[in-house]
Amino acid sequence: MSAPDRNLQTVSTPGDWTPASWRSRPAAQQPVYPDAGALAEVEDELSRLPPLVTSWEILSLKKQLAEAQEGKRFLLQGGDCAESFADCESALVSNRLKVLLQMSLVLVHGLRLPVVRVGRFAGQYAKPRSADMEEKDGVALPSYRGDFINRPEFEAAARTPDPRRMVKGHARSAMTMNFVRALIDGGFADLHHPEYWDLGWVGHSPLSEEYQRMVAAVGDAVRFMETISGEALHNLNRADFYTSHEALLLPYEQALTRQVPRQWGWFNLSTHFPWIGMRTASLEGAHVEYFRGLRNPVAVKIGPSVTPDQLMRLVDVLNPADEPGRLALIHRMGATQVADKLPPLLDAVRREGRRVLWICDPMHGNTESASNGFKTRRFANIRGELEAAFELHAAAGTRLGGVHLELTGENVTECTGGARELTDADLSLAYRSTVDPRLNYEQSLEIAMLIVRKQSS
Ligand code: PEP
Ligand code: MN
């Protein structure tokens, strides 16, 4: 008997699912709000505010992700570990966009593939923490869980979860989206003008010659095509930019989960591409329950403790009909564990013939404390995990279709190593992240160049 053709299975909202059905499951990593009435008021307000994205954008991303699954595109997903309300500033937003556009130029040029660009922004305001409480000098306060929930200062008032912050976060996300959309519509991503993406603060960078060579080659190709076709190439002045965040704070996500005219089912309209974090990916948990009923493409972070059996059950729950473009698996094993932990997962998915987009997050398995106490990541480990991931996929007969990075367009010193060989002692020069260390501009560009080298080798 031949295998069932999964394309023929109908995709529909599970009959026992509602946007609130997660509430009957254990919800990990949620704040405890002191005033239930205030929370209910905020949920009601949020559920009436306009959404941040549209269903047709979500469906067009799903189509692009389906193409990435088939090797026809490569996905670049990146941004801050945690956005902060204070960083909702024009230069910070546009610099992050510039880095992503430069990286995507490197990838398009080197891979000869269109790139799906997804920012970790416009809603990346809630963070999972390893402990609910933080203790300092005999005082215990709730941990900082991201600007959606509380403030980082170690004071009782700052750490008390305040539901009004969700409304402020929704507004900041809308401002970020609005600015990104306006820049892109205004021609900021135009391949005729890669100089728009130069970062003011970058002097001579060790990688700039290689980058400028690529810019020149792309410029030549564009002019050549325009010469032979006799007209300006369309679509070069626009680039689709999608948003993503960890959909951790379920009251917020539920309030933005909507039905839209002339579409069936439910969309999370706070972002195009929500993901489930490693700490909330339990099969019985509230997050998996919430995600399974959405029409958005969704991703799950997969850490080293996930077994092939657990992974296959997750795939079944989140994509029962094997819908193309629906499910991405973001593995984040760490440089020392990836060779052991990844291959059994790749084999299981391949054996069952399931359709997923594999993405490597080489950041989160490589976090460590530097000798001087800074939370950091060594560039060599990030690079090592990514290189190994390409090789392990090739050996398993699967395809690494994307990369997930924490990066910024600011001149920070948060990860050590890279082209400028930052050391532990350099970390204090410009360490700005309130949560995880990000790649700076040069380190980000170096990763893009590395992907090209690995994919074409
Ligand atoms: C993150 O992406 O910032 C994060 C917390 O990742 P993970 O869930 O993989 O640990
Ligand atoms: Mn992080």
332: annotated binding-site residue? Answer: yes
Instruction: Specify the pLDDT at position 2.
Output: 44
Q: Which ipTM did the prediction report?
A: 0.99
Tell me how many degrees the CA angle 310-292-406 measures, rounded to the nearest 5.
Answer: 75
Q: Cα dist. 325→25, 354, 399 in Å?
A: 27, 12, 14
In ligand 1, the atom with minimum distance to the C-alpha of 128 is: 5
Q: Looking at residues 271-285, what average pLDDT do you find?
A: 98
Q: Tell me the β-bridge partners of 382.
A: none
Ligand nearest to the CA of 330: 1
Q: Cα dist. 232→73, 104, 110, 275, 341 in Å?
A: 24, 21, 23, 38, 49
Instruction: Return the number of other C-beta atoms located less than 10 Å from residue 453's C-beta.
Output: 11
Instruction: Specify the pLDDT at position 189.
Output: 85
pLDDT digits (tens, 9 = 90+) for 317-376: 999 999 999 999 999 999 999 999 999 999 999 999 999 999 999 999 999 999 999 999
**Cα 450 from Cα 101, distance rounded (Å):** 16
**Cα 247 from Cα 290, distance rounded (Å):** 10
Q: Would the pLDDT of 5 be above 80?
A: no
φ and ψ at 396, to 5 degrees?
-85, -10
Entry pTM? 0.95
pLDDT digits (tens, 9 = 90+) for 83-107: 999 999 999 999 999 999 999 999 9
Q: Would the pLDDT of 135 be above 70?
A: yes
Q: Would the pLDDT of 243 be above 80?
A: yes
Q: Looking at residues 36-40, what average pLDDT do you find?
A: 98
Ligand nearest to the CA of 329: 1
Percent of the chain residues topping a pLDDT of 90: 82
pLDDT band at 198 (very low <50, low <70, confident <90, very high): confident
Residue with tokens 């692009």: 64
Residues flanking ion ligand 2, Cβ below 5 Å: 81, 436
pLDDT band at 237 (very low <50, low <70, confident <90, very high): low
Half-sphere exposure of residue 351: CA atoms within 13 angstroms, side-chain side: 10
Q: Cα dist. 140→131, 155, 161, 435 in Å?
A: 11, 10, 15, 19
pLDDT digits (tens, 9 = 90+) for 201-217: 676 777 888 888 888 88
Nearest CA to ligand 1 atom 1: 81
Instruction: Specify the pLDDT at position 196.
Output: 85
393: annotated binding-site residue? Answer: no
Question: Where does ligand 1 bind, in terms of residues with CB under 6 Å?
Answer: 81, 128, 246, 277-279, 301, 332, 364, 436
83: annotated binding-site residue? Answer: no
295: annotated binding-site residue? Answer: no
